[in-house]
Structure 1
Amino acid sequence: MLLTEKSTAEKFILSSETNTSPNQRLLPITATINDKNHLVIGGCDVSELVTQFGSPLYILDEETLRTSASQYRDGFKEFYAGESQVIYASKAWSCMAIVSILASEGIGFDVVSGGELYTTTKALEMSGFTTEQISNKIYLHGNNKSVTELELAIDSECKIIVDNWLELETLARLTAEKQKSVNILIRLTPGIECHTHDYIRTGSIDSKFGFDANQLEGVFAFVKEKSFINCIGLHAHIGSQIFELQPHNDLAGVLADWFKKALDYGLPLTELNVGGGLGIRYTESDDPPSITDWVKTVAQAVTKACEERNLALPKLIAEPGRSMVATACVTAYTVGGRKVIPDMRTYVSVDGGMSDNPRPITYQSLYQVVIANKMRSENAETVTIAGKHCESGDILIKNIEIPDTQPGDTLVVLATGAYNYSMASNYNRIGRPAAVLVNQGEANLIIRRETYDDLVRQDLLPSRLTVNN
């Protein structure tokens, strides 16, 4: 290889350096190559992290996560004249370390289950936040919240984004029984289409989420009569992994119209939640808007929509998830065996797959990889990266060019911070991987690797099935 030539992995790093918005990069912002030709993230050699902590291994770069959070937070302060609050969509990846980091950056939290609510509350308590600070930072979502979840939300005094009539009626009953008020936002279906996968499109009319337009006036009238329910805002979300900006302009107008209508009903609305949905760069061909451009578009659209309707600027809420955490994390695997089918395909197997990253088999999602211990090596073969699970569809990436690999090499899949650990399973009774947080050369374990004992911890064996019974 000529000295002036660059390997594909080197080009990934160089191209990433030109993008200041983390969601437009392929690698975390701290990614470099050391004199061993190894990938370094957060000042830590990725291959050495695998030696120390094992694989598969999620590696979360603290600086990238904090940069994404600050770009969202500071962007709204710059482009929106009213009050604003960025809340992290915890479904992307909920764990106590992420909660603590984002809370320290002034970020709030969108949670979608009792488990996420408990995790977030516990992490904030351990991080030193007061009860009042905690309740103001959390919004509970969900299209089928259980009574237990609603009771937990009422008792924790977080805000609840109400999704349907059953939930609204249940809340009215529970709050009356407890003689305890609750602050809610009404989720509506805006009827806006955007180009994304069918499974992650949530703003169209044909969606399981939110009240339809023909229900909203009835909802407003119902809420107006309930003394323990304070309707403080409206919410809508149009989908995920979106590269378009125009739908957010359309959404602002729809929300502002209904905001004005709710005020006419006498509801004390002060908040407008526009959801999230900004996409990230998973492959070289992906070209998402920057975080700053997305924030600017949303802020200006809401401002214009309110001005046109003579509305005072509400508190503007946004819910980024994927675009805040995805690029901050990579997953490191150890290369195992290979199968060569002449004139057809070469499979290279790794020690993980669909149990730690179900997105390829679920959404046909595409990813980019590097070989962490061969960062300056040229691509030499086209292979298909196969997982270890007993499933023909357990394929992480098809037909990708990589350097020659040997068993024991460290293969790294990029941008795995969103919907990887959060959707991980124990398929084939494989334990979920460990996760480490890296920053300035220090690596801290934030999630332990599951053991075999963990896998049977919840199993019960009736006494009648034992041999000596």
Structure 2
Amino acid sequence: MSSTESFNELPAHVWPRNAVRQEDGVVTIAGVPLPDLAEEFGTPLFVVDEDDFRSRCRDMADAFGGPDRVHYASKAFLCKTIANWVDEEGMSLDIASVNELGIALAAGFPAGRITAHGNNKDADFLRACVRSGVSHVVLDSAQELELLDYVAAGEAKVQDVLIRVKPGIEAHTHEFIATSHEDQKFGFSLASGSAFAAATAAVRAENLNLVGLHCHVGSQVFDAEGFKLAAERVLQLYSQIHAELGVALPELDLGGGYGIAYTADEEPLDVAAVARDLLTAVDRTAAELGITAPVVLVEPGRAIAGPSTVTVYEVGTIKDVSIEDGGTRRYVSVDGGMSDNIRPALYGSIYDARVVSRFVEGDPVASRVVGSHCESGDILINDENYPDDIRPGDLLALAATGAYCYAMSSRYNAFTRPAVVSVRAGTARLMLRRETLDDILALEV
């Protein structure tokens, strides 16, 4: 942070769309003061801006031609309330485990709008998919293809499937590498011909109906270039399938990976521009190949859930530590950490943090925000300049924590998972209660 004044600002492209710092310095989301929520529900606390989440669903639907073409990737964050919101917005849902499927079905989400992913789906998972009537199962191996055909036959059903293809593209952030990215666990290879062999097997299987191909190019992607190159390569396979198998596949699922801004100096995703470039490239490539352009499906998770949520912590111990250059670094400890946000430790992820209970006025000092776990790597903000008047009892919130934070949370050091609260029009609603010691002990036999 360059100054105390800038630290009191909330970057609009990072924080939830309904986050506002009031005249007394308190931050509200959807009209609800974060200190009030912390007092009622405790800290750490995930606070979800419902209208922000829903508006990003609509942004994606508008950009890609309708909600039926957008699948929310539930691995980012899923609970029954989230499934209800996605359903009410008319979108589809991606699940990647039998329990994610179970949560969606428990919420009453229509099985006919669910797509099942995973590289190691066993017979029980596949049977649950077939019996519930999911719209697609994404096939990831020859073994799985044979197993699903067997399971579907046992249920006297024909299951619609997509084949996951490795397009030879790895895209992250603003760069993409057009190499044979083969050494990974997902999908069938375009380069080796195994993708075409899988398509052939799926077309010939009596209890499978091949409706399209699926690919994924990376994470935190902000432009259409990687997606476009992947689509162009995969459409070559569509042309081959049409020419050699006589099958015109109606769908192309280009996966997710759409980026968000985590810090003030990052640019937000221009959803409309990316969608326009991508859909234009698909139509053009299909025309060049002489095939009908398939309907493009996308799977945003982070781009919808991520910016909608903040995590509120209470500041505890503060200490100044000597560092190698002769200076000091201030360690600001909070009452959560790697159990509720493993991403900084796992990926080196960075976040925007602000005091949300008052204005701060001190001089910037080199600081590190750390959690309360018995682990030296329990760091939430590694290296930043924060005002020196941050004190114990302040509330510090990290923005853009809606994706992969609660979903990857743990009970390390027997910490319990935080509560999750949604806010809308001045009202708070508890979505997931805080875990307790009784919940941990309930597993003991």
Coarse TM-score class (shorter-chain normalised) = over 0.9
- SS of 2:401's equivalent in the other structure is coil
The one-letter code sitting in structure 1 at the alignment partner of 2:113 is K
Q: In 1, Cα distance between the equivalents of 2:296 and 2:54?
A: 21
Partner residue of 1:183 out of 151, 160, 167: 160
Q: 1:237 to 1:53 in 2, by over 3 A?
A: same
Q: Which residue of 2 aligns with 1:280?
A: 260
Q: Which deviations, in whole Å up to 9, do the C-alpha atoms of 1:34-55 show, x marking residues without a partner?
A: 2321011111101111011100
Q: 1:7 to 1:239 in 2, by over 3 A?
A: same
Q: Is it true that 1:296 corresponds to 2:294 in the alignment?
A: no
Partner residue of 1:269 out of 249, 252, 259: 249
Q: Which residue of 1 aligns with 2:182?
A: 205
- SS of 2:383's equivalent in the other structure is strand
Q: Which deviations, in whole Å up to 9, do the C-alpha atoms of 1:358-413 show, x marking residues without a partner?
A: 00000010111000012464653321101000101001011222232111110001
Q: Which residue of 1 aligns with 2:347?
A: 363
Partner residue of 2:115 out of 139, 145, 151: 139
**Offset of 1:116 from its aligned partner?**
0.8
For residues 48-447 of structure 1, the aligned pairs below 5 Å read 48-77=36-65, 85-125=69-109, 134-158=110-134, 159-195=136-172, 204-213=181-190, 214-264=193-243, 265-267=245-247, 269-342=249-322, 343-375=327-359, 377=361, 380-403=364-387, 404-447=389-432
Q: In 2, Cα distance between the equivalents of 1:204 and 1:89?
A: 23
- SS of 1:139's equivalent in the other structure is strand
Tell whether the 8 Å contact from 2:215 to 2:254 is kept in structure 1 after alignment: yes
- Alpha-carbon RMSD across the aligned residues, in angstroms, is 2.1
- SS of 1:194's equivalent in the other structure is strand
Unmatched runs of 5 consecutive residues or more in structure 2? none
Q: Which deviations, in whole Å up to 9, do the C-alpha atoms of 1:418-452 show, x marking residues without a partner?
A: 00000000011110000000011100000010010
**Offset of 1:204 from its aligned partner?**
2.6
Mean Cα deviation higher: 60-69 or 394-403: 394-403
**Offset of 1:256 from its aligned partner?**
1.2
Unmatched runs of 5 consecutive residues or more in structure 1? 17-24, 126-133, 461-469
**Offset of 1:84 from its aligned partner?**
5.5
Equivalenced residue count is: 432
- SS of 2:65's equivalent in the other structure is helix
Q: 1:346 to 1:376 in 2, by over 3 A?
A: closer
> Normalising by the residue count of structure 1, what TM-score does the alignment of the two structures yield?
0.88
Q: In 2, Cα distance between the equivalents of 1:59 and 1:377?
A: 26
**Offset of 1:288 from its aligned partner?**
4.2
Q: 1:431 to 1:413 in 2, by over 3 A?
A: same
Q: 1:258 to 1:347 in 2, by over 3 A?
A: same
Identity, % of aligned positions: 35
The one-letter code sitting in structure 2 at the alignment partner of 1:428 is N
The one-letter code sitting in structure 2 at the alignment partner of 1:167 is E
Tell whether the 8 Å contact from 2:354 to 2:398 is kept in structure 1 after alignment: yes
> Normalising by the residue count of structure 2, what TM-score does the alignment of the two structures yield?
0.93
Q: In 2, Cα distance between the equivalents of 1:379 and 1:249?
A: 47
Q: In 1, Cα distance between the equivalents of 2:147 and 2:225?
A: 37
- SS of 1:36's equivalent in the other structure is coil
Tell whether the 8 Å contact from 2:337 to 2:371 is kept in structure 1 after alignment: yes
Mean Cα deviation higher: 90-99 or 379-388: 379-388
Q: In 2, Cα distance between the equivalents of 1:306 and 1:239?
A: 23
**Offset of 1:244 from its aligned partner?**
3.6
**Offset of 1:296 from its aligned partner?**
1.4
Q: In 1, Cα distance between the equivalents of 2:24 and 2:55?
A: 28
Q: In 2, Cα distance between the equivalents of 1:39 and 1:202?
A: 46
Q: Is it true that 1:43 corresponds to 2:20 in the alignment?
A: no
The one-letter code sitting in structure 1 at the alignment partner of 2:164 is R
Tell whether the 8 Å contact from 2:7 to 2:354 is kept in structure 1 after alignment: yes
